[in-house]
Homo-oligomer: A and B are copies of this chain.
Amino acid sequence: MQRTIFLINGPNLNLLGTRKVEVYGTTTLAELVAMVEAEAALHGFALTAVQSNHEGGLVDAIHAARAGGFGIVINPGAYSHTSVAIRDAIEGVALPTIEVHLSNIYAREPFRRHSFVSEVARGVITGLGPVGYLLAVRALATLGDVR
């Protein structure tokens, strides 16, 4: 049976490609998911993709990954900076998790510099646009091999 990576995108990412394109680029969410799916396939993974504007929706999605998930690639969006619930969910399911941000959150407003999720993620990749997601998949694949 194929191993599955859960791709979880947070609030406002459904608008991807259509808002603040100077920050987030013109790739849409559908295109992004397709790109990640292709990269995942390259490494022998299936992909389950979820997007929610609800903090609780993201918690639910993380819980869902417990059943059969190999790892999580998550862009918690704005909830990165405010959600202890998502942080605890990731810690609770104990799957290797890579946090991704399209923009470089450390070069923006002060309130974006801290992410509760980073404290429990295996790794964090920021500022590299959609490419960051692909690198996250490759990182998970590598984790699958060693350690």
Contacts and interface: CB of A to CB of B under 8 A. Distances in A.
Given A56-B56, A84-B111, A63 B104 contact: no
B104 A121 contact: yes
Given A120-B107, A127-B121, A128-B139, A60 B56 contact: no
Contact of A124 (B78, B122, B127): B127
A88 B123 contact: no
A59 interface: yes
A94 interface: yes
Interface of A: 10-12, 14-15, 19-20, 52-57, 59-60, 63, 77-79, 81-85, 87-89, 91-94, 98, 104, 106-107, 111-116, 118-128, 131-132, 135, 138-139, 142
